[in-house]
Amino acid sequence: MDKIILIIKREYLTRVKKRSFIVMTILGPVMLAALFIVPVYFAQMEGEIKKIGIADETGLFTHEFSSTENLNFIILDSDIEAAKQRIVPDELYALLYIPKTELSLPQSAVLYSPKQPNIIVKGFISNIMKKKVESLKLEASGIDPAILTSIKTDINLVTVKMNEGGEEENSSTELSMAVGFIGGILIYIFIFMYGAQVMRGVIEEKTNRIVEVIVSSVKPFQLMIGKITGVAMVGLTQFALWIILTLIIVSVFFSVYSHEFSTYKSSNLKLQENTIVPPTGTQTSIPADEINESLTAVFDSIQSIHFVVLIGAFLFYFVGGYLLYGALFAAIGSAVDSETDTQQFMLPLTVPLILSIAISQFIMVNPDGPAAFWLSIFPLTSPVIMMIRIPFGVPYTDLLISITLLILGFLGATWLAAKIYRTGILMYGKKISYKELWKWIRY
C-alpha cells in the first residue's frame, strides 16, 4: 500500500510541477472569468451618457422622452435642417426626427447619427413611440389605457412534479436541463483529458524502458492503480483550482468595479421600468410582485432537485466514469509502442463518449424513454447520460442498476486492463491486434 502511495505521489507531483499544468491552471480561470467579466465590461463601456436630440414636428412626443442615466434627451427646434446642424457642435449621439403627418398618427421616424446607433437605443426609442401611439389610438377608440394595463397578464407556469407517494414537488425544467447537462459535459471533459493522460503516462514508461525496473519493485497492478489515481488527483486539483481562481478573479473584478456595476444595474432596471410604466402615470404594484414570484420559483426548484442526490451522483459518476475509462486507457497505453498506434484501440472508447454528448439533446427531450434508460445503465455511457437524466427525476431502481453496473464495469475493466497491462508493458516492437489482446486476457 505504501508503494502505491509512493507511486501516486510521483505521478501527482511530476505532473503538477510541469509548466503546462501551471499555464493551464492560470489560463483556464482567466478564460472562464472572462466569460463573466467581458459582457459586463462591454455593457459598462456603453454606460456613458448619450445625448439624443429630438426634433418632433408632430409635438406629440415632446414630453414622452424623459432622460435616464444613460440617455439624455434634448428637445430641439422642430426645424430638422437647423437641428441637423447641431449634431456635431452639441456632440449628439443621434438625432431623432419625427416628421409631421397630415391625417393619421405618426408611424415612422428617422434617427440621424454619425455612427451606427446601437440596438438598445433604437429599441428604447421605438418602444416609447409605440406606447404613445398605441395609447393615443386607444383614446381615439374610447378605451382607457389604464384598464388595458390592468387586464394585461403574464402567465407564470409553475411545473409541479408528482412523485409516487402523491407528494408534490416544484421543478424547473430549464434549470434541471442546465445543471444536468453541465454535469455531463464536465464528466466528459474530465474523462477525455485525464484518461488520455493516463494512456500517455503508460506509453512514456514503456518507451523509456523504465517500466521493467519499476515492476521488479512493485506489482504491475500497483503501478497501474497508482498512475490512474495520481492522474485523477491532478485532474481534481486542476478543477478545484479553476473554480477557486475563477471565483477570486470574478469577485475581485466586481468588487473593484462595484460602483459602476451597481450604476449599470440600476439604469438597466430603470429601462425596464420605463417600458412597463403606463403612459398615463398610475403605476401598479404588479410588476414587482411578478419578479419576486419568479425568483422564488427558481429558488424553490433549485431545492427541489435534491441537491444532495445531485451532487452525490455527480461525484460518483465523475469518479466512477473516470476510473472505468482510466483503466481502459491504461490498457491501451500498455499495448502499443507509441501514441500513433493507439487509434484502432481508441475507437471503442471514444465512440460511446462522443455518442453520450451527441445524444444528450435527445435525452433531455425524452428523459424516460428506452434510449435514455439503456444508455444510462450501460457503464460506458452512463456517467454522462445519467447526469442528464437525474434532474428530471429517475426511479431509484434505474439509479441503483446504473450504479451497480458502473461499479461492476469498473471492476471488470480494471481486471481486464490489469491482464493486458502486465503483458503489454513488457512487450516491445510488436504490432498488437485485437486477437493478440484476447490471448493476453486469457492466460
Partner 1 sequence: MNTLFEARNITKQFADHRALSQVSISVPEQSIYGLLGPNGAGKTTLIRIINQITAPDSGELYFHSRKLKPEDIYKIGYLPEERGLYKKMQVGEQAIYLARLKGLSKSDSQKKLKYWFGKFEIEAWWNKKVEELSKGMQQKVQFIITVIHEPELLIFDEPFSGFDPINVNLIKDEIFEVKKRGGTIIFSTHNMASVEELCDTIALIDKSKKILEGTVKDIKSEYKANTFEIVYTGNQARLNSFAGSTFSLINHSTSDGRNKASIRIINGRSPNDLLSELLPNFTILSFNEILPTMNDIFIKKVKENK
Nearer Cβ to partner 1, position 396 or 443? 443
Q: 169 forms bridges with which residues in the sheet? A: 161
> CB under 8 Å to 161, separation ≥6 — which residues?
168, 169, 170, 171, 304, 393
Nearest to partner 1 of 143, 213 (CB atom): 213
DSSP state of 86: T
Cα gap 377→61, rounded to integer Å: 64
Q: Which is nearer to partner 1, 50 or 206 (CB)?
A: 206
Considering only residues 100, 152, 430, 439, which one is a binding residue for partner 1 as defined by CB under 8 A? 439
Separation CA 301–CA 295 (nearest Å): 10
Amino acid at 88: V
Under rule CB under 8 A, residue 16 binds partner 1 = no
Q: Smaller CB distance to partner 1: residue 24 or 74?
A: 24
Site size with partner 1, rule: CB under 8 A: 25
* Cα radius of gyration rounded to whole Å, the chain: 32
Region 212-231 residues binding partner 1, contact defined as CB under 8 A: 212-218, 220
Q: Is 100 in the site for partner 1 (CB under 8 A)?
A: no
Q: Assess 431 for contact with partner 1 (CB under 8 A).
A: no
- In sign, the C-alpha dihedral spanning 118, 120, 123, 127 is negative
DSSP class per residue in 99-155: ---SSS-----EEE-SSPPPHHHHHHHHHHHHHHHHHHHHHHTT--HHHHHHH----
Q: Tell me whether residue 136 or residue 427 sits nearer to partner 1 (CB atom).
A: 427
The piece of 5-13, 97-105, 184-192, 338-346 that touches partner 1 (CB under 8 A) is 5-13
Closer of 259 and 442 to partner 1 (Cβ): 442
Residues 210, 214, 218, CA angle at the centre, nearest 5°? 165
Kindly state whether residue 430 participates in binding partner 1, applying the rule CB under 8 A: no
**Whole-number Å distance between alpha carbons of 367 and 86:** 62
Q: Which is nearer to partner 1, 210 or 288 (CB)?
A: 210
Report residue 292 as a C-alpha cell: 419576486
| 199, 417 Cβ separation under 8 angstroms | no
Chain-centroid distance of CA 392 in Å reads 18
CB 38, min distance to partner 1, A: 36
Q: Kindly state whether residue 307 participates in binding partner 1, applying the rule CB under 8 A.
A: no
Residues 398/377, Cβ–Cβ less than 8 Å = yes
Q: Is 426 in the site for partner 1 (CB under 8 A)?
A: yes
Residue 14 is a binding residue for partner 1 (CB under 8 A): yes
Residue 433 found at the interface with partner 1 (CB under 8 A): no
Binding letters toward partner 1, positions 172-211, x by CB under 8 A: --------------------------------xx--xxx-
Query: What is the C-alpha separation between 70 and 246, in angstroms, rounded?
Result: 30
Q: Which stretch binds partner 1 (CB under 8 A): 177-185, 375-383, 384-392, 435-443?
A: 435-443
Exactly one of 299, 374, 415, 428 binds partner 1 (CB under 8 A); that residue is 428
Say how far apart CA 222 and CA 226 lie, in whole Å.
6
Q: Which is nearer to partner 1, 217 or 258 (CB)?
A: 217
Provide the minimum distance between the beta carbon of 197 and partner 1 in the complex, in angstroms, as a whole number.
Answer: 14
Residue 283 in contact with partner 1, rule: CB under 8 A: no
| Residue 305 burial (10 A CB sphere; 0-12, 13-18, 19+) | buried
Q: Look at residues 255, 391, 403 and name the one whose alpha carbon lies nearest to residue 320.
A: 403
Q: Does 23 participate in binding partner 1 (rule CB under 8 A)?
A: no
Task: Give least dist CB 14 to partner 1, A.
Answer: 6
CB nearer partner 1, residue 10 or residue 130? 10
Q: What is the maximal distance between C-alpha atoms in the chain?
A: 99
The contact set with partner 1 (CB under 8 A) reads 3, 6-7, 10, 14, 204-205, 208-210, 212-218, 220, 422, 426, 428, 439-440, 442-443
